[in-house]
Chain A
Amino acid sequence: MALLELTEAGLYCPAGDFHIDPWQPTPRAVITHAHADHARPGCGSYLAAAPGILILRVRLGPDASIQSLPYGETVALDRVRLSLHPAGHILGSAQVRLESDGEVWVVSGDYKRQHDATCSAFEPVRCHTFVTESTFGLPIYRWPNPDEVFSDINSWWRDNQEAGRTSILLGYTLGKAQRLLAGVDASLGPIYVHGAVERINEAYRQAGVSLPSTPIASDQPRRTPWDKALIVAPPSVVGSPWLRKFGDLSMAMASGWMQIRGTRRRQAVDRGFVLSDHADWPGLLQTIHETGAERVLVTHGYSAALARYLGGQGLSAEVLPTRFEGERLETSRDTVEE
C-alpha cells in the first residue's frame, strides 16, 4: 500500500489523513522546514520539528496553529506512526518518517550532508521507500569542503578591506545567511545585515544558535565607515538603491549554483562561493545508499536524471512531480529557497 499519494494539494498520507508540505491549504500539514515552497500559509494546523518552530512562526504569522515535535519522538496519527529526524538543511529542518503495517517511508524534504554550525546534522533513517530531493542531482555538483570555502570568504573580505571596498555577501535570508554569519571570522571587522536577515537571526538566537552581533545596515548613521565591513544580504538587493550608500563595493554570492561558471557570470557578482544547503551528487548517492531503500521517489531538481541513474544502479526509482522548486536560480527576483 502506498503511504503517500500525490494529490492536487500535495503529498497526502491517506492512512494518517494529513499532507506533507502541501502547496494548497489543507486541514493538517506536516512541515519539513520553513522555506516558502515547503511551508505555505492557510492550513488548519501545522506539525513541525521543535527547533524550527520559532522560524515557522515568523513565516506563518501569530495566528497559525503550530505544534512541535522533538526530533526522534514518535506520534501516532490514525494508522500511521510518525517521527521527525534532522535533515541538516536549515535550523529545524526535518525528514518525515512514516510507518504503517511494518512499511517505512521517509520524506527527506531538502537536505545536506555537509557540516553546518546552525543546525543538527542529517541522520540517515532506514526505510523501504525514500523520497529525495534532487536540486543538485548531477555529477557536476560536488561541493568543496565548507572550511575551505569560509577561508576563501575570509580572504576575500580581507582583500576588500585592504582595497577600501565594502564586502557584500549575498545568501538566502533563511538558513544560508545564518550559516554564513556563523562561519565567517567575525574578528576581521564589523558585520552588518539587511533587515530581512536580522528578523530570522533573532529567531535563530532565541532557539539557541550562536551568531555574531549583526546590526541592521540601514539603521546605521550615514557616515558609517563601510569599507572594513561585511554586509550579509539577500540576493534580491542586486540592482536596488539599498546598495548605493556602501560606496565602492565587492559583491559575492554563496550558492551551490556558483559551481557553474556561466551561472556565476550571469549573476554579475564579483565572486561566487560554492556553498549550498542541499546535498551534492555524492551526498545524494551516499544518502540513498544509507537509507537502504529499495524504492526511491525523486522530487524537485534534476529528478529525471537522478531517477534514471539510480535505475541503472539496480534501484527502483521514479520521478515524483511536486511543486517544490528545484531548478530556480537564486537571483531571480522571486522567493528562491536554498
Chain B
Amino acid sequence: MKLFAELYQALDATTKTKEKLRALVSYFQQSPPQDAAWAVFFLLGRRPRLALSWPKLRAWACKAAAIPDWLFDECYHAVGDLAETIALVLPEHRSTDVEPLHHWIETQLLSLAKLDDSGQREVLEQAWAGLNQMERFVWNKLITGAFRVGVSHQLVTRALAQVANLPAGVVAHRLMGHWQPTAAFYQSLIEPETADTALSRPFPFFLAHPLEDPVESLGDVALWQAEWKWDGIRAQFIRRQGQVFLWSRGEELVTERFPEIAESALWLPDGTVLDGEILPWKDGHVLPFAQLQRRIGRKNLSARMLAAVPVVFLAFDILERTGEDVRAMPLHERRAWLEELIQAAHVDRLILAPKLTVGRTFLSDQTDKNVHPTSSASSWEELARLREESRARGVEGLMLKRLDSAYGVGRQRGAWWKWKINPFTMDAVLIYAQRGSGKRASIYTDYTFGVWDEGKLVPVAKAYSGLTDEEIRQVDRFVRQNSLEKFGPVRAVPPVHVFELAFEGIGFSTRHKSGVAVRFPRIARWRKDKKPEEADTLATLRKLIPDTPKGRELY
C-alpha cells in the first residue's frame, strides 16, 4: 500500500503531465505485476463491488476518533470528501504497513463484501490503525469506490507503453474490453507485440475535439467530410468468429441490452468492427436521448419497451475489415468499404450515417435516401446554414472529419472536430447556494437559479461551472454575508445577481416544480449589468421548447 499511496501523492501533487508520467512509469517499474494490475484497474476508474454504506463508515470513524456524529458532519462539510474526512479525524499514526497493494485489495477489500457488520468494522479499524494519514486516505478511497486521481486513460496507457517499450496504440487496445486484474493480465499487457487479438476486444475510440476557431480555419472544404453529430450511445459493433459484441464508449459490453442490433450482425461478414452510434429510432427519425435512457436502466427488456423505443446502430466508420485492422487507411477509403458493407447487409437496424456532401468533390449524394433527408453543401457557409437545422433534426451539430484521416487513438487534435450548435441561453437569478465538494469543498460553488413566474422566482436550473476563480470568490463572499435562511447545507440568498446560463436542450417536465427541465446548464457569464427584474420569465423559457412531439416528450 505504501508504494501505491506514494504514487497517489505524487500524481496529486503535480499538474504537470510530464511529472505524472514519470511517477506512473516509476511505479510500474517497481511494483510486482499483481500490484501493477490492480493499480491499472483503479487508475482507469474501474472499481470492485462494495458493500459499505456511508452511515456505517461514519459511525465507525466517529467511534475510532472519539468524536460525536455532528462534529464529524461539520468536518465533512469543511473537507467535502468522506474518505479524506475519515483519514483526517483519526489520530495520526506511524505507518506499520509492509503489505503489497494486491494483499490489501484481495484479502482485505474484497473480503468486506462477505463479512457482516462487525467483521467489516474489524477489518477497517485494523487498517486505519496500521496506516499513516496518506495511506489511510487512499485506502478509504478504494473501499468507498471513489478512487479518482487526475490521470487520464491516455496517460496510464502512455506510461505502460513506455514501461513495455510498445506503441501506445497496442497497449490501449489490450486495455479495452473485459479483463481481470491479475499478474497474468499485467504480463500480457506489457509483453512484446503478437498478432493475436482477443476475440471480443474493441479498438480504442477515436474522439473529436470541439471546434473553437472559425470553421474557415480548417482550410479547403473539399478536404473534409461532414456528418451530423448524433446524440446517442457511441459504440463499437464487433463480429468475429461468429460471435457478436457491442461495446459502449464507457467500455461496457451492452450486447444484451440491444438485442435487435445484435441480431443484425448475422448479415455482417466475419472479422468486422464498426464504429457508430446506438440511437432510438422510429419511422426514419431519431428520438430524443431521454427515450433511450428509459431502456438503458433496465435489466429485462419487455416486448412493450422494445416496441416503444426501437433502436438502430448508425455506423459511421469501419475499423476492421475481413479480419484486418484498417484504422490506418484514409477515411474516404474506409467510408467506401463501409457503404458497401451496409448496403450488402441490407438490414433495417443497421444504417449508414448520412454524409453531408461538401464542395464539388462528390457530385452525387451517396447516402441512403430512405433513411434520412440528405443535404449538400458547397461551402463552409452552406454547412453553417445546415448546422442551424440541427435542433429541428434532433442532432447536436456537425462532425467534421478530414477525408485523408486515419482512425486514431483517444482525443487528438486536427483530424476530427465536433462543431456543435450554439447553446440556448437565459438570464436567471441566483437564489440558492451550496458548498461544493472535492476541490470546491467549503466554498459556495453550487448554485440554483430562478426565473420569474407571476412575480416570484421559480428554480429552473442548477449550475456548478463557468465562473472564474475570482468570480467564485466574490459569489462565495456574497453568500456568506447575505444568507437569508438555511435548509441544511443550502443557503437562500437575496435575489440580486443575474447570470447568463447556457444549456443544450429544454423540455416540459413533471418532475420539476417549474414544469420545465433544461439539459447541461452551465454559467456563461455573470451579468453584472442586469438587475434581477430584467431576468427571463418562465413564459419565455417555455417558448424555447420545440413545438413538436419530440419537444413535448423530453425529460
Contacts and interface: CB of A to CB of B under 8 A. Distances in A.
By secondary structure, the B interface counts as helix
B79 A140 contact: yes
Contact of B68 (A138, A140, A142, A312): A312
Contacts of B442: 260, 262-263
A333 B440 CA distance: 18
Contacts of A260: 78-79, 84, 88, 441-442
Contacts of B437: 262
A309 interface: yes
A250 to B, nearest CB: 9
Contact of A262 (B67, B68, B91, B438): B438
Nearest to A137: B74
A138 B441 contact: no
Given A139-B75, A305-B74, A312-B68, A262 B80 contact: yes
Q: Which of A262, A305, A309 has the most CB of B within 10 A?
A: A262
B440 A271 contact: no
Interface in A218-276: 259-263, 265-266, 268, 270-271
B439 A265 contact: yes
Contacts of B441: 260, 262-263
B75 A268 contact: no
A140 B13 contact: no
B68 A261 contact: no
A146 B486 CA distance: 39
A140 B440 contact: no
Contacts of B480: 327
Q: Which of A260, A268, A327, A332 has the most CB of B within 10 A?
A: A260
A309 B71 contact: yes
A57 interface: no
A262 B439 contact: yes
Contact of B89 (A139, A262, A266): A139
Interface in B22-75: 65, 67-68, 70-71, 74-75
Contacts of A271: 13
A302 interface: yes
Interface string A25-69: 000000000000000000000000000000000000000000000
B84 A138 contact: no
Interface string A275-312: 00000000000000000000000000010010011001
Contacts of A266: 439-440, 443, 469
Given A139-B71, A305-B71, A259 B88 contact: yes
Nearest to A282: B91
User: Size class of B's contact patch?
Assistant: 20 to 34
Contacts of A144: 92
B385 interface: no
B342 to A, nearest CB: 48
Contacts of A308: 70-71
Nearest to A271: B13
A144 B91 CA distance: 11
A116 to B, nearest CB: 20
A302 B76 CA distance: 13
Contact of A261 (B81, B89, B443): B81
Nearest to A156: B13
A335 to B, nearest CB: 14
Given A260-B442, A308-B70, A140 B15 contact: no
B38 to A, nearest CB: 22
B75 A140 contact: yes
A141 B442 CA distance: 14
Contacts of A261: 12, 79, 81, 84, 137
B139 to A, nearest CB: 15
A140 B73 CA distance: 11
Contacts of B137: 261
Contacts of B448: none
A268 B88 CA distance: 22
Contacts of B92: 142, 144
B133 to A, nearest CB: 9
A281 to B, nearest CB: 9
B14 A138 contact: no
Contact of A270 (B14, B65, B71, B79): B14
Contacts of B225: none
B293 to A, nearest CB: 31
Interface string B404-447: 00000000000000000000000000000000011111110000
A270 B15 contact: yes
A75 B437 CA distance: 50
Contacts of B440: 262, 266
A331 B13 CA distance: 18
A302 B12 contact: no
A302 B74 contact: yes
B357 interface: no
B236 interface: no
Nearest to B70: A308
Interface string B86-111: 00110110000000000000000000
A280 to B, nearest CB: 11
B13 A270 contact: yes
18 contacts: A138-B71, A140-B78, A140-B79, A142-B92, A144-B92, A260-B441, A260-B442, A261-B12, A261-B79, A262-B81, A262-B439, A265-B439, A266-B440, A268-B15, A302-B74, A309-B71, A333-B470, A333-B473
Interface of B: 12-15, 65, 67-68, 70-71, 74-75, 78-81, 84-85, 88-89, 91-92, 137, 437-443, 469-470, 473, 480
A-B pairs with lowest CB-CB distance, top 10? A140-B88, A262-B441, A305-B74, A140-B75, A139-B89, A262-B439, A265-B439, A138-B75, A262-B438, A262-B80
Interface of A: 138-142, 144, 259-263, 265-266, 268, 270-271, 302, 305, 308-309, 312, 327, 332-333
Given A139-B71, A262-B437, 20 more contacts: A138-B78, A140-B78, A140-B79, A140-B88, A141-B88, A144-B92, A260-B78, A260-B441, A261-B79, A261-B81, A261-B137, A262-B438, A262-B441, A263-B441, A263-B442, A265-B439, A270-B14, A305-B71, A309-B68, A327-B480
